[in-house]
Structure 1
C-alpha cells in the first residue's frame, strides 16, 4: 500500500513540475495574434473553398491583415459585401468583385450521349475516367457521377434525372471548387453578366462529335466566329471558345447565335 502511495505521489509531483515547465514555455514562446485576423475571419463565408488562393478562410484572413500587398477583395464567394467589410477592417481599398457563376458545358444527358460501355465501378467521376476515359463515347463530356456536387461547399449543385449536374444560381458563389473537381473540365466559372455561353465541351471533329452525342453539340464549323462582329469567339481544338470580357464590354446584340446549326451557343442568362 505504501509503495502505491509513493508511486502516485511521484507521478503527481512529476506532473506538477512538467505543468510549470509548459506554462513557462507557453508564456515565453507565445506569439501574439493580431485581433484583426479574427475580425476578418468572422466576416468571411467559411466555405473553405480556396478561391482566394489561400488555405481556407483563416489563411486568407491572416494574409490580408499582415501583408499589405494582399487585396481585400479576394473572397469570391463573399462578393462586394465581404470585400467592403474586409477593406474597412484592414484599412485597405477594395476594387469591385465581379460576380461569377458555374456553367455546365455539356448537354450530353442520358439518352443523348452514346455509351462505350456500362460502368459498374465506384460512382466517382475521377475514378470512372481512369477506365478508358469514362463510359461515354464522347470523352470530353460530363461523366455524370456528381463529383462536382460533392465538392461544392455551398450546396449549389445537384444531379438531375438526366444525369447532368444542375446549378442553383441563388446558391452559387462562383468559388470554382466544382471547376477544379471536374476531371473533364466540363465546368466553367464565368461572369454572371456574360452574354453568351457554349453548351458543349467536345474537342472531336464535327462529324464524330455529332455521332457520339445528339445534344447541342459544337461542330467546330466556325460560323459563330465569322458572325461575331467583335472577334470574341475563336475555334480552338474544334470547339467554340468565347472571350467573356470582350463579349460583355462590346456586344449588345449577339449575332453569333442565329446561324449555329446545332444551337450549341445560347444566351447566357
Structure 2
C-alpha cells in the first residue's frame, strides 16, 4: 500500500514540476500576436488561394496589420467589400483596385491548329510540357490537359471538348491566379476586366516567325506589326515576333482588331459591328446629245423604206 502511495505522490510531483516549467517557458518565450490579425482573418473568405501574394488568408491578415497600410494589398476573392471591412478594423483607407479576370491567350482550336501526333502519357500539362512538345506544330499553345481546371477552386474554368481549350466563366472567376501558376505554357493571364467588362487582347503567345507560326496555327500572330502602326495610343508593342497590348494604355478603339490579317486580336464583350451601307453605283455619264444634234440632217442616213415611200410630188411632173 505504501508503494502505491509513493508512486502516486512521485508522479504528481513530477507533473507539478513539469507544469511549472512549461508555464514559465510559455511566459518567457511567448510571442505577442496583435489581436487585430485574428479579427482581419475572420472577415477574409478563407479560400487560402494565394491570389493576394501571401501564404493563405492568415499570412495576408498579418501582412495587412504589420504594414500599417493597405496600398498594394488586395484580396481577389473577397474583392472590394472585404477590403473595406479590413480597412474598418485597422482604421485605414482601402484603395480601390480594378477588378481582373483570367484570360486564355490561345486560339489554337482543333480547326485552327490541326493535330499531328497523339499524346498517350499522363494527362498533365506540366508533364507533357516537360517531356513533349505537344500534339500540334505549335510549341507555345495550350496542351489541353486541364491543369488550370484542376487548380481552380471556384469552378470558373472548364475544357471545351469541341475546341480543346479551357474557357473562363467570368462570373465565377475571382482572379486568384491559381490557373496562371498552373499553366506551364503561360497562356493564361490576369487582365483588368475593363470598362463595361470589355477588353482587347492578342489571343496568341507564339513567338515563332510569321511563316512558321502560320503553318502551325491559322490564327497565330505573325508579327507583321500592322497593329502597332495603327494604334493611336502606343498601347501595342512587338517583341520576339509577338504583339502584346498593354491594358493600361489601351482605349478599346478596336483599330488593331480590324487591321490584324490573322484575326489574332480579340475584342471581348463588344457589341457586333454595324454593317456598312452598300455604296450606290457610280452614275453613268449622260450621252452626248449635243453632238448628235450638231450633225446636219443631210448627213444622217435615211432608211431604204422611207426612200421608197417618198411622195411622187417630189418627182418632176411629165408633160402631157
TM above 0.5, one fold?
Answer: yes
**Bigger mean CA offset, 9-18 vs 103-112:** 9-18
Is the contact made by 1:101 and 1:172 (CA closer than 8 Å) also made in structure 2?
yes
**Bigger mean CA offset, 104-113 vs 55-64:** 104-113
Structure with higher RCO (Cα < 8 A, 6+ apart): 1
Residue 10 of structure 1 deviates from its aligned partner by 5.8
**Structure 2: tracts of 5 or more residues without a match:** 270-320
**Structure 1: tracts of 5 or more residues without a match:** none
Does 1:223 pair with 2:251?
no
Does 1:195 pair with 2:199?
yes
Residues 207, 2 of structure 1: alpha-carbon distance in 2 compared, 3 angstrom cutoff? farther
Aligned residue-pair number: 265
**Bigger mean CA offset, 38-47 vs 23-32:** 23-32
Distance 1:3 1:119 in 2: 75
SS in 1 for 2:173: coil
Number of the residue aligned with 1:147: 147
Residue 12 of structure 1 deviates from its aligned partner by 6.5
Distance 1:9 1:155 in 2: 61
Q: How do residues 1-269 of structure 1 correspond to structure 2 at under 5 angstroms?
A: 14-15=14-15, 17-71=17-71, 73-161=73-161, 162-193=163-194, 195-214=199-218, 216-247=219-250, 251=251, 253-269=253-269
- TM-score normalised over the length of structure 2: 0.74
What is the CA deviation profile of residues 37-65 of structure 1, one whole-angstrom value per residue up to 9, with x for unaligned ones? 11111122222222322211101101111
**Bigger mean CA offset, 189-198 vs 94-103:** 189-198
Q: CA RMSD in A?
A: 2.5
**Bigger mean CA offset, 255-264 vs 109-118:** 109-118
- TM-score normalised over the length of structure 1: 0.87
Please tell me whether Structure 1 or Structure 2 has the larger radius of gyration of its CA atoms: 2
Is the contact made by 2:203 and 2:265 (CA closer than 8 Å) also made in structure 1?
yes
Is the contact made by 1:71 and 1:92 (CA closer than 8 Å) also made in structure 2?
no
